C-alpha cells in the first residue's frame, strides 16, 4: 500500500497557485526529500498531507483522507512542522508527561533514553534551552512515537552543522525502519544526500523531478570535461554546464557512461547541482543562497 | 527523578509494547486541562494571592479590634463581634469571585490566540487530540475549573478568618462559640457554591464562549475584536431603530441573572438554597447556553483552519 498518494492535488490562495494539480506517490518505508525554493509549495503540500489545510484533488494518506479523517490519522502520523514550535513555557518533564498522557503510541522509556544522551535537564523550561536542545527534545519526543509516517518541515533550520548531523544520524540509526515513511523538506540539501531514498524537486507549485536516489545515480552523471574535449562533450547535449576552476563541469541525463568516461572525470552530481540544472539557474539562485 | 512512577511506567509500557494502549477521551481531556494549568498558573495564583492579601488585612483589623476591646469595661455581645466580622466575611468572597471572573475573561481571550501567536499550535496539532477536545477543555477552565477552585479558596479563606477571629478574640469576653454556630456562615458558603456554579459557570457561559471564538478568529488584538462587535451592534441598533434591546440584553448578561440568589438567600427554607429551580426556570439561561454552544461550534471549526499567525 502506498503511504501517500496524490492525484491532481491543487491549492490556491486567492489568485496565487500554491499547488498546481500535482501527482505523486510515496511508498511505505521510503525517505522522501522535497526540495524547492521558497514559495515552491512544499509546506502547502505537507500541510495538505497532515490535514492542516483543505485542498482540491485527491489525496490519501495511509488510505485515509487527511482533511476529513484527520482525528484518526493523528495517531499514525507525526510531524515536526518547524524548529521552534514547542511551547516556550513547558518544562521538559511536562512535555514528557503530556505526550505520554495523550499519545497511545508514545514510549516514554524510549524518549527518556534519547534525552539521557543529551544534557537537557528535566526541570528546565523550553524557553531556557538553546535552539539545538529544543530540536533534540522535539526529536526525542517524536522518535519515541511509533508512527507510520513522520513529516519534517525544515527540521534543522537555524541549527549548527553539528546538531544537524546528529539530527539526521539519530533519525536514521534509531528511528527509521522498513515500516516507517519519512517525508522531509529542507534547504540544507547536501546533508540529505546519503539520507534520502527518494527525491522530489518542486518549483512554483509543480513537481519538476520525482525519482529514487538509485535512479538519480544511474541517470545523471556529472563530468569535469577535459579542456580539449569541450566541443565533443557539448555535442552530447548536457542539461547543464558550469565553470569550476577554469574547467567546464557538465551534467548529463541518460547518456551512455562509456562515451562520457572518455571526456573527463565522472561523478554522481550533488543534490544542489542537480537542482540548479533541473530547476534552472533562475530558481536555483534562491536555494544556492540557502545552502 | 520520580523513580517509583517512572519504573512503573516503563514496565507497563514494555508489557504494552506490541499492542499500543488506548487513550480514552477522558484521559486526553484530563491532560488537556492539566496543560492549561501548567501554562496559565494565574488561574490559581491570582485568587490565592487575593486570599492571602485579604487575610493579612483582616488580621490587622482584628488586632485593632482587640485593642479597642481592652479599653472597654463591659462584656462584648455577639452582635458587636458579628458586625465587624460579617462585612469582611462577605467581602472576601466577593473579592475572590471578582478576581476569578477577571482571570476567566483574560484566560478565554488568550486561550486560542496565544497558541497561534507563539506557533505552538503546530505542536498541539501534531498530537492526537482533536479540536473538539482542545476547545472543550479550554472552555471548561472558566466554566468549571475556575469557579470551583475559587469557591474552595473562598471557603478556606472564610474558615481561616473564623479561626483568626477566634484566636485573636479569645479571652476578650466575646462569645466565640456564637461565631461558629451562626447559621449564616454555613448558609452563605452554600449560597456561594451555588452562585459560583450557576452565575460564574452557566450564566457567563456565552461570554466565555464568545471570547474563545474571538481568540480563535482574531488575526491580532483579540481584545479589540471581542469588544468591537457589541459596540457596532449597539450603535447600529440605536441609529437604525432607536432601540437599545441589545444593550439591555448585554446588561442582564453581565449583571447576572435577574432575581434568583437575591430571593434565595432571603428565603427562610434552608433547602431552597440547594435546589436552584428559579435559576433553571429562566429562559435567559437556556438561550444563553444555546448561544454559547453555537459560539463554541464556530470556535472548534475555526481552530481546524487556523495555523500560526
A107/B17 touch (CB, cutoff 8 Å), yes or no: yes
Reported ipTM: 0.89
Q: How many domains are there within chain B?
A: 1
Are both A58 and A156 inside the same structural domain?
Answer: yes
The pLDDT, as a whole number, for residue B225 is 94
Residues spanned by the domain of A14: 2-211
The pLDDT, as a whole number, for residue A74 is 93
For A91, which DSSP code? B
Are both A114 and A29 inside the same structural domain?
Answer: yes
B39/A87 touch (CB, cutoff 8 Å), yes or no: yes
Structure-model confidence comparison of residues A256 and B35, the more confident one = B35
Residue B159 lies in a domain: yes
Give the domain CATH number at A29.
Answer: 3.40.50.300
Are both A282 and A168 inside the same structural domain?
Answer: no
Measured CA to CA, the distance from residue A227 to residue A243 in angstroms comes to 11
Structure-model confidence comparison of residues A17 and B178, the more confident one = A17
Residue A19 in grid coordinates: 499547488
A54/B127 touch (CB, cutoff 8 Å), yes or no: no
> Nearest C-alpha of chain B: how many angstroms from A252?
42
Are both A76 and A189 inside the same structural domain?
Answer: yes
Residue B9 lies in a domain: no
A109/B9 touch (CB, cutoff 8 Å), yes or no: yes
Mean confidence (pLDDT) of chain B = 80
> Nearest C-alpha of chain B: how many angstroms from A88?
8
Are both A79 and A160 inside the same structural domain?
Answer: yes
Report chain B residues whose CB lies below 8 A from the CB of A71. 128, 130
Q: Which tens digits make up the pLDDT trace of B256-290?
A: 766 544 444 444 444 444 445 567 777 788 889 99
| Inter-helix orientation angle B146-169/B183-195, to 10° | 160
* pLDDT-above-70 percentage for chain B: 75
Contact A162/B at CB under 8 A:
no
Mean confidence (pLDDT) of chain A = 89
Are both A96 and A8 inside the same structural domain?
Answer: yes
Are both A271 and A183 inside the same structural domain?
Answer: no
Report chain B residues whose CB lies below 8 A from the CB of A78. 126
Q: Which tens digits make up the pLDDT trace of A93-140?
A: 999 999 999 999 999 999 999 999 889 999 999 999 998 899 889 999
Residue B294 lies in a domain: yes
> Nearest C-alpha of chain A: how many angstroms from B148?
24
Are both A14 and A28 inside the same structural domain?
Answer: yes
Report chain A residues whose CB lies below 8 A from the CB of B126. 50, 74, 78-81, 142
Q: Are B162 and B156 in contact (CB under 8 A)?
A: no
Mean pLDDT of A45-55: 94
Q: Among the three residues A211, A236, A260, which one is the final residue of a domain in this structure?
A: A211
DSSP symbols for B164-225: HHHHHHTTTT--HHHHHH-HHHHHHHHHHHHHIIIIIIIITHHHHHHHHHHHHH-SS-HHHH
Are both A274 and A152 inside the same structural domain?
Answer: no
Q: How many domains are there within chain A?
A: 2
Residue B288 lies in a domain: yes
Q: Give the Cα-Cα-Cα angle A197, A198, A199 (nearest 5 degrees).
A: 135
The pLDDT, as a whole number, for residue B31 is 96
Residue B6 lies in a domain: no
Q: Among the three residues A194, A211, A228, which one is the final residue of a domain in this structure?
A: A211
Are both A47 and A147 inside the same structural domain?
Answer: yes
Q: Among the three residues A189, A211, A233, which one is the final residue of a domain in this structure?
A: A211
Measured CA to CA, the distance from residue A239 to residue B81 in angstroms comes to 98
Are both A263 and A133 inside the same structural domain?
Answer: no
Q: Which tens digits make up the pLDDT trace of B121-138?
A: 999 999 999 999 999 999
Nearest C-alpha in A relative to B38: A90
Taking only residues 243 to 272 of chain B, the set having a beta carbon closer than 8 angstroms to any beta carbon of chain A reads: none
Residues spanned by the domain of B274: 38-305
B9/A100 touch (CB, cutoff 8 Å), yes or no: yes
A102/B1 touch (CB, cutoff 8 Å), yes or no: no
Measured CA to CA, the distance from residue B148 to residue B90 in angstroms comes to 17
Sheet containing strand A56-61, edge to edge, reads A16-27, A2-13, A56-61
B123/A112 touch (CB, cutoff 8 Å), yes or no: no
Q: Which tens digits make up the pLDDT trace of A230-279?
A: 888 888 888 888 888 888 899 998 888 888 888 888 988 989 889 888 88
The H or E element containing residue B116 is helix B78-117
Mean pLDDT of B135-143: 95
Q: Are B180 and B82 in contact (CB under 8 A)?
A: no
Report chain A residues whose CB lies below 8 A from the CB of B39. 87, 89-90
Are both A157 and A284 inside the same structural domain?
Answer: no
Amino acid at each position: 500500500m502506498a503511504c501517500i498518494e496524490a492525484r491532481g492535488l491543487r491549492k490556491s490562495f486567492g489568485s496565487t497557485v500554491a499547488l498546481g494539480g500535482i501527482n505523486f506517490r510515496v511508498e511505505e518505508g521510503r525517505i522522501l526529500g522535497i526540495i524547492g525554493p521558497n514559495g515552491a509549495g512544499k509546506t502547502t503540500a505537507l500541510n495538505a498531507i497532515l490535514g492542516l489545510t483543505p485542498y482540491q484533488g485527491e489525496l490519501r494518506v495511509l488510505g485515509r483522507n487527511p482533511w476529513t479523517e484527520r482525528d484518526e490519522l493523528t495517531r499514525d502520523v507525526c510531524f515536526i512542522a518547524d524548529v521552534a514550535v514547542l511551547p516556550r513555557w513547558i518544562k521538559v518533564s511536562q512535555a514528557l508527561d503530556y505526550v505520554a498522557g495523550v499519545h497511545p503510541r508514545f514510549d516514554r522509556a524510549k524518549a527518556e533514553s534519547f534525552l539521557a544522551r543529551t544534557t537537557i535537564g528535566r526541570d528546565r523550561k523550553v524557553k531556557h534551552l538553546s535552539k539545538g536542545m529544543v530540536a533534540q527534545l522535539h526529536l526525542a519526543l517524536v522518535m519515541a512515537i511509533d508512527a507510520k509516517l513522520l513529516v519534517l518541515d525544515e527540521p534543522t533550520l537555524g541549527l549548527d552543522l553539528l546538531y544537524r548531523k546528529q539530527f539526521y544520524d539519530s533519525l536514521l540509526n534509531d528511528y527509521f525502519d522498513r515500516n516507517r515513511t519519512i517525508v522531509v523538506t529542507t534547504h540544507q540539501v547536501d546533508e540529505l544526500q546519503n539520507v534520502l531514498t527518494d527525491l522530489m524537486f518542486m518549483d512554483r507549485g509543480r513537481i519538476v523531478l520525482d525519482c529514487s536516489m538509485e535512479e538519480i545515480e544511474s541517470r545523471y552523471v556529472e563530468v569535469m570535461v577535459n579542456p580539449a574535449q569541450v566541443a565533443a562533450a557539448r555535442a552530447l547535449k548536457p542539461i547543464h554546464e558550469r565553470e569550476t576552476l577554469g574547467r567546464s563541469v557538465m551534467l548529463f541525463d541518460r547518456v551512455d557512461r562509456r562515451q562520457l568516461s572518455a571526456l573527463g572525470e565522472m561523478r554522481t552530481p550533488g543534490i544542489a547541482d542537480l537542482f540548479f540544472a533541473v530547476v534552472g539557474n533562475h530558481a536555483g539562485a534562491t536555494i544556492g543562497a540557502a545552502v | 527523578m520520580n523513580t517509583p512512577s517512572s519504573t512503573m511506567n516503563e514496565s507497563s509500557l514494555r508489557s504494552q509494547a506490541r499492542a499500543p494502549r488506548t487513550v480514552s477521551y477522558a484521559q486526553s481531556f484530563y491532560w488537556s486541562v492539566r496543560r492549561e494549568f501548567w501554562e496559565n498558573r494565574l488561574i490559581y495564583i491570582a485568587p490565592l494571592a487575593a486570599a492571602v492579601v485579604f487575610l493579612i488585612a483582616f488580621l490587622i483589623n482584628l488586632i485593632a479590634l482587640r485593642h479597642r476591646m481592652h479599653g472597654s469595661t463591659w462584656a462584648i455581645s455577639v452582635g458587636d463581634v458579628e458586625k465587624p466580622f460579617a462585612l469582611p466575611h462577605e467581602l472576601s468572597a466577593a473579592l475572590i469571585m471578582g478576581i476569578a471572573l477577571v482571570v476567566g475573561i483574560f484566560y478565554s481571550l488568550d486561550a486560542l490566540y496565544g497558541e497561534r501567536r507563539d506557533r505552538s499550535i503546530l505542536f498541539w496539532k501534531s498530537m492526537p487530540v482533536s479540536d473538539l477536545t482542545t476547545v472543550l477543555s479550554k472552555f471548561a477552565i472558566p466554566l468549571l475549573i475556575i469557579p470551583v477552585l475559587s469557591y474552595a479558596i473562598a471557603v478556606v479563606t472564610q474558615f481561616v478568618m473564623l479561626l483568626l477571629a477566634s484566636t485573636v478574640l479569645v479571652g476578650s469576653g466575646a462569645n466565640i462559640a456564637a461565631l461558629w454556630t451562626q447559621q449564616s456562615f454555613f448558609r452563605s458558603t452554600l449560597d456561594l457554591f451555588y452562585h459560583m456554579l450557576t452565575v460564574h459557570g452557566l450564566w457567563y457561559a456565552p461570554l466565555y464562549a464568545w471570547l474563545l471564538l474571538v481568540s480563535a478568529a482574531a488575526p491580532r488584538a483579540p481584545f479589540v475584536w471581542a469588544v468591537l462587535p457589541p459596540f457596532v451592534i449597539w450603535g447600529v441598533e440605536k441609529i437604525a431603530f432607536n432601540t437599545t434591546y441589545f444593550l439591555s440584553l448585554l446588561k442582564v448578561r453581565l449583571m447576572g441573572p435577574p432575581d434568583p440568589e437575591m430571593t434565595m438567600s432571603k428565603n427562610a427554607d434552608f433547602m431552597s438554597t440547594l435546589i436552584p429551580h428559579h435559576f433553571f426556570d429562566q429562559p435567559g439561561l437556556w438561550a444563553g447556553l444555546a448561544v454559547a454552544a453555537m459560539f463554541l461550534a464556530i470556535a472548534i471549526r475555526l481552530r481546524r483552519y487556523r495555523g500560526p499567525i
